[in-house]
């Protein structure tokens, strides 16, 4: 495929992914509402433009990394969106939008002879920086063969299926497990601390035993026990992902009683702590209820 690609959304995830493509020799046309984010890529040779339609008129393949389904829809289909571009033929959405939105956008873009590929990613900011993300791609198999060499620069690439939305379903299932691990581990450690155990020692034991999770292995040592709460993913985005998962599960006729309780906890975190807080700050909500702090002695 051509090495001239577009990239829209240069935030905490999109910025590192775009940077890796630039380092791999791709000529990027980029767009973001934050000037400082654009400046970091132009320093690597990227060409900045002011709107999605300009990106879509400069590159046949455009990647998106955006925070919400509504923003993805506006960028793809809005007045100055990708659908109005003169050159774009493939739109790869690395965001988390849910299968319903992915299908809607794919149908609308197909009417413009543009193929939508939903390819959400998992692995956090560290994964985006190091190129170790899980990339969950849904598109026709021949197209996957064309896109895989490029997407390998941002992580391990999986062909999830052929239909739009299948990658999104995989991503929401993954993020539900991640969100559940965080709150469940916080509650378990809060119980231990309230009973006299040391939080740091608890995490060491959990990681040596059968209870270890991504939360105990990564989130606790890096952001919760040190009380920095700076893992790199917003509370509002985690709540959005869990809520999306429940909405999609309901539409599919799949009951999720555990997930419903997890969603309610993240909603409280969103409402009481704020959507801009790091998602690891959910520990503070559980601390308040238990009357303890999850920190090393």
Residues annotated as catalytic (active site), given as ranges: 171
SS (H, E, C) the chain: CCCEEEEECCCCCHHHHHHHHHHCCCEEEEECCCHHHHHHHHCCCCEECCCHHHHHCCCCEEEECCCCHHHHHHHHHCCCCHHHCCCCCEEEECCCCCHHHHHHHHHHHHCCCCEEEECCEECHHHHHHHCCEEEEEECCHHHHHHHHHHHCCCEEEEEEECCCCHHHHHHHHHHHHHHHHHHHHHHHHHHHHHCCCCHHHHHHHHHHCCCCCHHHHHHHHHHHCCCCCCCCCEHHHHHHHHHHHHHHHHHHCCCCHHHHHHHHHHHHHHHHHCCCCEHHHHHHHHHHHHCCCCCCC
The residue whose two tokens read 């690597």 is 44
| Number of Cβ atoms within 10 Å of the Cβ of 210 | 5
CB 181 within 8 A of CB 207: no
Give residue for tokens 């198999």: 141
């Amino acid at each position: 495929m051509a090495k001239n690609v577009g990239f829209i959304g240069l935030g905490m995830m999109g910025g590192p992914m775009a940077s890796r493509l630039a380092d791999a020799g791709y000529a990027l046309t980029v767009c973001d509402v934050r000037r400082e984010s654009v400046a970091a890529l132009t320093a690597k040779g990227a060409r900045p433009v002011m709107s999605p339609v300009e990106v879509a008129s400069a590159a046949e393949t455009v990647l998106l990394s955006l925070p919400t389904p509504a923003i993805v829809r506006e960028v793809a289909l809005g007045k100055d969106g990708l659908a109005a571009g003169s050159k774009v033929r493939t739109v790869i959405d690395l965001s988390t939008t849910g299968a319903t939105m992915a299908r809607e956008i794919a149908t609308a873009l197909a009417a413009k002879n543009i193929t939508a590929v939903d390819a959400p990613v998992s692995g956090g900011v560290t994964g985006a920086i190091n190129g170790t993300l899980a990339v969950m791609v849904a598109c026709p198999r021949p197209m996957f063969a064309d896109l895989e060499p490029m997407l390998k620069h941002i992580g391990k690439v999986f062909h999830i299926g052929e239909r739009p939305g299948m990658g999104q379903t995989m991503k929401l299932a993954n993020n539900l497990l991640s969100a559940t691990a965080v709150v469940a581990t916080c509650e378990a450690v809060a119980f231990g601390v309230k009973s006299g155990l040391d939080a740091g020692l608890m995490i060491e034991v959990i990681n040596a035993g059968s209870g270890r999770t991504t939360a105990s292995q990564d989130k606790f040592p890096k952001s919760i026990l040190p009380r920095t709460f700076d893992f790199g993913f917003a509370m509002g985005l985690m709540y959005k992902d869990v809520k999306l998962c429940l909405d999609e599960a309901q539409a599919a006729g799949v009951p999720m009683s555990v997930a419903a309780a997890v969603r309610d906890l993240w909603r409280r975190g969103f409402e009481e702590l704020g959507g801009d807080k790091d998602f690891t700050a959910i520990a503070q909500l559980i601390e308040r209820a238990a009357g303890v702090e999850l920190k090393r002695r």
